[in-house]
Amino acid sequence: MNSAASIFHRITLAIAGPALIAALVGYGAPKVAAAPGGPLTIASPAFANGAPIPVQYTCKGANIAPPLTWSAPLGATLVVDDPDAPAGTYIHWIVTGIAPGPGSTADGQTPAGGTSVPNSAGQAGYSGPCPPAGTGIHHYRFTLYQIPATFQLPGGAAGPQAVQAITQAATGQAQFVGTFGA
């Protein structure tokens, strides 16, 4: 009996030992490289990805920027645009110089330390969703671009030209989308 129990324990260790070691070191598991300092992320506590943007953040309400939360391990630039605009992508908001690390804003705030660049209307600041009547549901992309610390926008760059320079310099991006209809 003692000898049978000993054999049972040896068999159990022979089977369980390698399985336990493989599980601990992730044998066979996909390898995922994390960005230094964590992932680049952006979201809003006011609405979920793909959900309608509440009226207060549009031209039909207070037209203030929604609250945002993000993580930008290396610093970032925020671009809010509408790819469904009738005359081509409309830039609603550009904020450069977002500091590295996690951050958040409340209703109507620009990210601390960030600088607003003129949008498609030539205004530096947030311009909420305001699609022309009869154009259906529009998708508003809130994109956080990871930008090298040495990046400088070309002098006078605004709207689509600024976004083009930002996307060319970006080393990563995170995005969420809100919808709003006319």
| 56 and 2 within one domain | no
Tens place of pLDDT per residue across the chain (182 aa): 455 444 434 433 343 333 333 333 333 322 222 345 679 999 999 999 999 999 999 999 999 999 999 999 999 999 999 999 999 999 999 999 999 999 999 999 999 889 999 999 999 999 999 999 999 999 999 999 999 888 889 888 899 999 999 999 999 999 999 999 96
Output the pLDDT for position 36: 53
Please tell me the total count of domains within the chain. 2
Alpha-carbon distances of 60 from 92, 121, 122, 180, rounded to whole Å = 15, 18, 20, 11
| 49 and 109 within one domain | yes
Output the pLDDT for position 25: 34
Output the pLDDT for position 167: 95
Give the SS3 label for residue 105: coil
Output the pLDDT for position 148: 85
The enclosing domain of 139 has a CATH number of: 3.90.280.10
| 79 and 96 within one domain | yes
| 8 and 77 within one domain | no
Domain of residue 17 covers: 1-32
| Cβ-count burial 113-136 (b if 16+ within 10 Å, e if not) | ebebbbbbeeeeebbbbbbeeeee
| 49 and 7 within one domain | no
| 135 and 65 within one domain | yes
| 123 and 64 within one domain | yes
Sequence-ordered list of residues with C-beta below 8 angstroms from that of 83, at least 6 positions apart, any chain:
89, 139, 141
What pTM did the predictor assign? Answer: 0.79
